[in-house]
Amino acid sequence: MKSNLVLTGFMGTGKTSLGKLLAEKLGRGFVDLDQKIEQDTGMTIPQIFEKYGEKYFRELEKNAVKEVAARKNLVIATGGGTVKDEENIKLLKESGVMVCLTTEPEEIFRRTERRGERPVLDAGDEDRLNTIKKLLAERQKFYAQADYTVDTTNWSPLQIMNDICRHFRG
């Protein structure tokens, strides 16, 4: 049954902060996939990438998706690359309504400027904005599979939350 609310979208689109707010408003449990992986492994995401590489991180991510998608009535914030795996999309969409958050590449750039937190961006071109644009284009076809997309650029978290709740309830 589709009882979960799943947030997807690129890095820096606000999935974790909005997910927490939504869970509170809807009186649901909240799971952030990256935080779950960090708790389960006792390592940070950058440490996992550095020690074991992206492929291994994606395996951990896939296992976390399987576990979380089997649960009910949650708000789930995914990582920006979770949807690169079609099976992840399938499981998550079967378990709930999938909402994709978007914002302008320049805004993503500003929000993800700090080095050492997003290994996928740190490993890209020296021109970080270019890496963001390239990855956004590559991933567009995955994000497009969401049931509903919200452009968060000009909206406050409260407005976004109300919009998603209206859609989710409807």
Binding site for ligand S3P (CB under 6 A): 11, 15, 34, 45, 79-81, 118-120
The answer to whether the Cα torsion of 153, 91, 145, 53 is positive or negative is positive
Q: How far is the CB of 98 from ligand S3P (least distance, A)?
A: 15
Beta bridge partners of 34: none
Question: Judged by CB, which is closer to ligand S3P: 1, or 22?
Answer: 22
State CA 45 to chain mean position distance: 14
Instruction: Sort strands 4-9 and 74-77 into parallel, antiparallel or unpaired.
Output: parallel
Count of beta carbons in the 10 Å neighbourhood of residue 117: 13
Q: In whole angstroms, how close is the CB of 70 to ligand S3P at the nearest point?
A: 20
Tell me the closest approach of the beta carbon of residue 1 to ligand S3P, in angstroms: 26
- Given the complex with ligand S3P, which of 47 and 170 has the nearer CB atom? 47
Of residues 65 and 161, the one with the C-beta less far from ligand S3P: 65
As measured in angstroms, the least distance from the Cβ of 161 to ligand S3P is: 18
Closer residue to ligand S3P (CB): 114 or 169: 114
Strand order through the sheet with 74-77: 29-32, 74-77, 4-9, 96-102, 148-151
